Amino acid sequence: MKPLYLLLACGLLSVQTTQAQLIKKLKEKVNKAVEESIDKKVDKEPKTSEKTTPETREKETVQPDNKSVASTSGPAKSQYKVYSKFDFVPGNTILYYDNFEKDNIGETPEGWMTTNMAEVVEIEGLEGKWATLEPKGGAVNIARSKKQSWGDNFTIEFDIFMEPGMEGQSEQLYIYLGNSGGKMVSDESLLNEINEGDAIELYFGINKKDGTMYELTSYRNVAVGKPGSKTKFSSERDIKVNFLRPLHMSFCVQGKRLRFWMNEKKYLDINSAINPDVIPNLLAFKGHYYTNSKFYVSNIRIAKDVPDTRAEFKDGKIVSNLLFYSGTANMKPESLGALYDISKVIKDASGTVKIVGHTDSDGDDALNMRLSKQRAETVKDLLVKEYGIDASKLTIDGLGETQPVADNKTPEGKAQNRRVEFIFKP
């Protein structure tokens, strides 16, 4: 993971001209933290080429001087090794996907609810757009949601990092998986109730000096006035996770069971965390009253129907929404859990397996076709090199945008169409 995070952290050098103060803080404080905390023997990865990407959501960021900024390259082989035992598998059906693609820079994401400010920005060296979360004074941000219910079998993923505020203070961030209590998920009164109603609460204590965590504590909140209004699940101290570098958070809810990962490591696995009467349907972020740092979040993906890979294998086809870096065939390491799960089934398959890549409809048809084949080739290489699958057992193909399974006019539909299929039967 170190080479990837070194590249990402060092890439936080500038944003749009409207974020001039942000540039200065990110340069000074993120670079300082990286110098102190990253092993100086680690080499940087080579920069990616500055080609035009074939998918609109994966276009390079254009800065005011009209110079293209190449998106971050994929991880090196050693980083895949770190994730080789990662067991998070995302849901199959995407309910909500948000990388703020259609939101205007400098404005609050349409449909987000906030008691302070959430502003869309672009950051050089990082993919796409990010929403700033300013949790000063205990401010609350609730991500926009398009579904009143996620069911009781769903996953949540997002990328997040912190820009330090005032020196010498620690920071405290709360993440809630809340329930709207029968209200519409767009009801703004929920902003004042998220930490009082039924919710799963994760508390992150963060050292200001180097961005590392000194505490992670998880609770289940019950509506105020009820017996046992706050039940602690677990608490862990001195966690080796750095909030000054973009990190990937993953949640999985299956019935009463809750699991939580940061990057490749699982930190929670609680069999009785979820109350079946108040299943989460809200994702919210909140700061402590004295918090004055900014946080940045992007690539939010909520999906239901956590797959039963064995059952799909018996049906002859596994559909997986593996994630790749912008405009490249480099797979994101957080997709290794899903690929690892599939690899165990492929090992037991008696015949050959065809790996087929698909894209959404954005961009040039020919480029999409080529990219889909390249991504299928990447998946094959990873199965062979990381999981020991016999290469002769695997064939590849790419169909580009020709076989959509969802509407390409919505972010969720496009995310659903960017997929890799594994065909076990002719």
Q: Exposed, middle or buried: residue 238 (CB in 10 Å: 0-12, 13-18, 19+)?
A: exposed
Mean pLDDT by 10 residues, the chain (426 residues): 40 39 43 39 34 36 29 56 83 94 93 91 91 87 92 97 75 94 94 89 90 93 80 92 94 96 95 94 91 91 88 83 87 92 90 94 92 96 92 95 93 92 86
What residues does CATH 2.60.120.560 cover in the chain?
A: 92-304
CATH architecture of 309-423: 2-Layer Sandwich (3.30)
The residue with tokens 């809750």 is 258
pLDDT value for 17: 39
| E-only strand ranges, 324-400 | 353-357, 394-398
Asked whether 101 and 130 are in contact (CB, 8 A), the reply is no
Tokens of 323: 């994630």
What residues does CATH 3.30.1330.60 cover in the chain?
A: 309-423
Q: What is the pTM of this model?
A: 0.80
Question: How many other CB atoms sit within 10 Å of the CB of residue 224?
Answer: 11
Residue among 354, 298, 288 nearest 326 (CA): 298
Q: How far apart are the first and last CA of the chain?
A: 38
CATH class of 92-304: mainly beta
Asked whether 5 and 245 are in contact (CB, 8 A), the reply is yes
The residue with tokens 């490249």 is 328
